[in-house]
Amino acid sequence: MPAIAAATVTVVLWASAFVGIRAAAPHFHPGSLALGRLLAGAVTLLIFLAIRRQGLPPRAAWPGIAVSGVLWFGLYMVALNWGEQLVDAGTAAMVVNVGPAVMALLAGWLLHEGYPPRLLAGIGVSFAGAVVVGVSMSDGGHASILGVLLCLVAAVAYAAGVVAQKPALRHATALQATTFGCLIGAVGCLPFAGRLITDIAEAPIGATLNVIYLGVFPTAIAFTTWAYALARTTAGKMGSTTYAVPVVVIILSWLLLGEVPGLLTLAGGALCLAGVGVSRSRPRDREPSMR
């Protein structure tokens, strides 16, 4: 199915973002990293928009696009970048993975998607897997309270942004919603423009290229494929799908960074995938009884 393929692209590219952020973070302030990523993404998306000859979204789509732009494209990226500088990757993964659960709760309440038992069970299993992965990746140090709070802010902003974007996709295309959400997020991060100029001047070319990569692939392409898939399923199910991200991060770290995962990490990854499978499964129709 096209929606499943789009969600798969999103998961893989969002997972790759962890490698890019880790490479760029030592050379970029959290705000300047977010702004640089959003600017690169906005330029790419505007080119796509021009090629596709899609103009402004309908008026009815703007409230959802504006909210998702401020919360998801803006606040989420700054808070996550900052939080990951203060806590280890394991702690960040555990806290940020509160997001899909919050998303399912908000979608059930605000979007009237309800609370399907299989979805809630799958989220529970996947979250347990995320905790296992987080514990296995933790460096055993004391997590910064501010860092944990920032990761929690990122998780809530991400969940609220997705729930706000869902109604907008009834009126706008995935490309329109992503392009203008990204632009709004970039405008919100403009106070970091001076710092971005300084960081680019001082950072090695490799770090700057990582920022551009983050903007083109995990932002422009992955957020568009996410919106495409979100328009064709529920916010709760899409949120549960992101629990596959830690699994892909493990694989990419293994292949690209030579970080061999331990048995605990692999077990946590398996739980994440199992939970995604449960949340997206459908109950079997009962066979008619013999009379």
Say how far apart CA 202 and CA 257 lie, in whole Å: 25
For the record, the structure tokens of 72 come out as 């998801």
The answer to whether residue 57 is domain-embedded is yes
| pLDDT for the residue 138 | 60
Say how far apart CA 134 and CA 154 lie, in whole Å: 17
| pLDDT for the residue 141 | 52
| pLDDT for the residue 18 | 76
What's the pLDDT tens digit per position in 63-106?
A: 999 999 999 999 999 998 988 788 766 566 667 777 787 888 88
Q: Give me the number of domains the chain comprises.
A: 1
The answer to whether residue 87 is domain-embedded is yes
For the record, the structure tokens of 19 come out as 């490698």
For the record, the structure tokens of 231 come out as 């328009």
Q: What is the CA radius of gyration of the chain?
A: 19
The answer to whether residue 168 is domain-embedded is yes
The answer to whether residue 258 is domain-embedded is no
Those residues whose C-beta lies under 8 Å from the C-beta of residue 172, and which sit 6 or more positions away, are 57, 58, 61, 65
| Residues 173-194 as b or e (16 or more Cβ within 10 Å = b) | bbbbbbbbbbbbbbebbeebee
The answer to whether residue 174 is domain-embedded is yes
Distance (Å) of CA 248 to CA 158, 217, 263, 272: 20, 15, 16, 11
Say how far apart CA 243 and CA 67 lie, in whole Å: 24
Collapsed DSSP state (helix, strand, coil) of residue 281: coil
Which one-letter amino acid corresponds to residue 188?
G
Residue with tokens 């405008």: 187
Handedness of CA 81, 62, 219, 94 (dihedral sign): positive
Q: Which residues constitute the domain of residue 97? A: 17-117+143-236
The answer to whether residue 107 is domain-embedded is yes
pLDDT along the chain (291 residues), means of 10: 87 84 89 97 98 96 97 95 76 72 81 78 78 67 72 89 94 97 98 98 95 96 95 81 75 71 75 72 51 40
The answer to whether residue 193 is domain-embedded is yes
The answer to whether residue 126 is domain-embedded is no
Say how far apart CA 245 and CA 242 lie, in whole Å: 5
